[in-house]
Amino acid sequence: MDTEKVLQISHLEKSFGTHEVLRDIDFTVNKGEAISIIGPSGSGKSTLLRCVNLLETPTGGNIYYHGKDITDAKMNIPSYREHVGMVFQNFNLFANMTVLENCMTGPVTVAKKSKKEAKELAIKFLEKVGMEQYINAKPRQLSGGQKQRVAIARALAMEPEVLLFDEPTSALDPQMVGEVLSVMSKLAKEGMTMLVVTHEMAFAKEVSDKVIFMADGVIVEEGSSSDIFEHAKQEQTKEFLNRFHTTV
Ligand SMILES: Nc1ncnc2c1ncn2[C@@H]1O[C@H](COP(=O)(O)OP(=O)(O)O)[C@@H](O)[C@H]1O
Ligand SMILES: [Mg+2]
């Protein structure tokens, strides 16, 4: 079993003014792991992912990427984000660009690939998410599920080592959730290293190598899927999961 540490989050803290949103967050992301982060709304899950992607600056603690502290002021943030990509709840596609252009722009402008190489990468990953027949479409012509699959292809076209997902199916109509989760399950099975904030408990239970339950800015409990979904130790975890009982 490969246990190369990719990310190590150590005593991470984040406050907005006097509001402490994250307190003493500690966990490790090993290569090839799919980790789900679950917990009530407002518990700090998005803030945690945004800190890991440096969209927010932590107010305490450290985040190590292959042992290098990314919270260091000298860190090259765009270069780091080539390796650690992010998929958002609201897709964040460029509305004025076609599907193909959306997937080529990062490889060309950030990764400095040739147009030809970027196009090959874009098409390869659009095929992976089943969106290759839409290369000339604009985002407004796509359904929510299709937009999110394009957003995943766009993130993959940077060939990142880690992908962060912040509730990628929460903005979707129910009938479109499955197509996005199936793409994500496929990536996890192929060994992509993933950190996924989700309310999809079936996905968290079936796909994750590790599950983190957060509440009120702290990690309440962390373990394997079976540790959390079948043998939770903390009352708070059990109560949270009971609310989803009918859907798991
Ligand atoms: N930019 C911000 N400024 C001030 N407060 C924020 C900001 N972002 C998030 N928060 C607060 O941090 C807390 C956690 O939010 P969030 O990370 O979005 O939780 P979750 O994703 O688990 O729902 C909330 O109380 C939220 O209001
Ligand atoms: Mg959130």
State how far Cα 248 lies from the chain centre. Answer: 22
Cα gap 43→21, rounded to integer Å: 8
Q: How far is CA 104 from each of CA 95, 124, 154, rounded to the nearest angstrom?
A: 14, 11, 7
Q: What is the pLDDT of residue 3?
A: 83
Q: What is the pLDDT of residue 84?
A: 97
Query: Phi and psi at residue 115, in whole multiples of 5°?
Result: -55, -40
Q: What percent of the chain has pLDDT over 90?
A: 94
- List, for residues 167-176, the tens digit of each pLDDT value: 999 999 999 9
What's the gap in Å between 165 CA and the centre of ligand 2?
A: 10
How large is the average pLDDT for residues 133-151? 98
What's the gap in Å between 46 CA and the centre of ligand 1?
A: 7
Nearest protein CA to atom 5 of ligand 1, as residue: 16
Instruction: Inform me whether the pLDDT recorded for 94 exceeds 90.
Output: yes
Amino acid symbol at 210: K
Instruction: Inform me whether the pLDDT recorded for 1 exceeds 90.
Output: no
User: Which atom number of ligand 1 is nearest to the Cα of residue 56?
Assistant: 1
Which two tokens mark 41? 């709304």
Q: For the sheet with 19-30, list strands across it.
A: 19-30, 5-16, 60-65, 68-69
Residue 36 in contact with residue 166, Cβ under 8 Å? no
Cα gap 97→126, rounded to integer Å: 15
Rounded mean pLDDT of the chain? 95
- Tell me which H or E stretch contains 243: none
The predicted model scores a pTM of 0.95
Instruction: Inform me whether the pLDDT recorded for 246 exceeds 90.
Output: no
Instruction: Inform me whether the pLDDT recorded for 245 exceeds 80.
Output: no
